[in-house]
Amino acid sequence: MKKILFPALLLCGMGLTVVACKKDSAVNADGKEVVAVDNMDDANAIIEFNNGLIEKSTKNRSNLERVVRYLESMDAFIAGKTPVLIAPINMPNMSKLKETPDALGKNKEAVKTLVEDSTKKIDDIKKKTDELVTYIKAEDYKDDNGAKAQTYKAEIMKLIDDYYATEDKLTAIMQPVADGAEETILKDHPLKDYILGSKKVLALSQNITTAVTDQYNEDVYDIPALKKQYDVLEKEIKANTAKEFKVSETSLQSKKGYYENFNKEADNFLATLRKVLREAETSKTITEGQASEIHNGYQNVVSRYNNFVD
């Protein structure tokens, strides 16, 4: 069973006031449609929809992490080794996303189907978890020595794995589409270079966070590979920090502080990575606390990025 759930995330959205521009449809190296945007309304519709997906994914992930912690503590509780088992917070029904926009073109139906599938899997996880909580509260595990608890655990973890597999498929479609829409929006934006540089830092921060999580969950460690990722991230952060923030628009000059705060937080993240990797190089392992520390550091970077582009 996975010990922690810090999956690869959809990159956060953007909320900057945009300027009008136009972009033709683009295709990736495989000839698949990346984005079909020929006006600013469509570009904004894609970004708004993607931001909704990000919010939904983030809330779901937080709830699922609570479910996993419950499952991990359950065996000790049933065995009488711990007197308390805190049930996961009731998973609320997520507000419905806006209608899948026509601007997604040929990707629209696939995205719509994946979103529906993802929502159903969350509902199934909620239902199965509620059944398990009721089973535990009623102490029915005393009748079967916890056998049904193990069945519930296996079923819930399978559903969680399936949910994240669906989310991965959704991300694979939406990320290049959202990137294309963002390029359209940023084409003539005065903050374009600062936003794209910061987004690259954010993407690399996400990559190393995901790599640490995967190594921890699989209990197989390649610290030299993580250090290589660190070096690439450090280079990008230095390059982003070195840019002199200069904009003529009075309304955007206040963004300088947010940009600097983002770079400072990214540098703090580097410090956390150095500390964990230094210790891991000796121990040849990464603890749950260290993986959580890196994940929390990454979330702080995301927060500063959102402050900058909002």
In eight-state DSSP terms, residue 251 is: G
Among 85-89, 178-182, 187-191, 268-272, which stretch is predicted with the lowest mean pLDDT?
85-89
What is the tens place of the pLDDT at every residue in 150-204?
A: 999 999 999 999 999 999 999 889 988 888 888 888 888 899 999 999 999 998 9
What lies within 8 Å, CB to CB, of 116 at 6+ separation is none
Q: Please say if the pLDDT value at position 240 is more than 90.
A: yes
Residue 135 near residue 94, CB atoms below 8 Å: no
Task: List the beta bridge partners of residue 35.
Answer: 26
* pLDDT(88) > 60: yes
Instruction: Give the lowest-confidence range in 174-188, 203-217, 222-236, 274-288.
Output: 174-188
| Among candidate residues 37, 305, 46, the one with its CA nearest the CA of residue 184 | 37
pLDDT digits (tens, 9 = 90+) for 15-38: 443 333 333 444 444 444 445 466
Burial of 150 (0-12, 13-18, 19+ CB in 10 A): middle
Check: CB of residue 5 under 8 Å from CB of residue 290.
no
> What average pLDDT does the structure give for the chain?
85
Q: List b or e across 9-29, with b for residues whose CB sees 16 or more CB atoms inside 10 angstroms.
A: bbbbbbebebeebebeebeee
Tell me how far apart the alpha carbons of residues 228 and 234 are, in angstroms, rounded to a whole number. 10
Q: How far apart are CA 17 and CA 162, in angstroms?
A: 37
Distances (CA, A) of 272 to 100, 164, 291, 295, 304: 39, 27, 10, 10, 16
What is the predicted pLDDT for the residue at 187? 82
The CA distance from 86 to 59, in Å, is 19
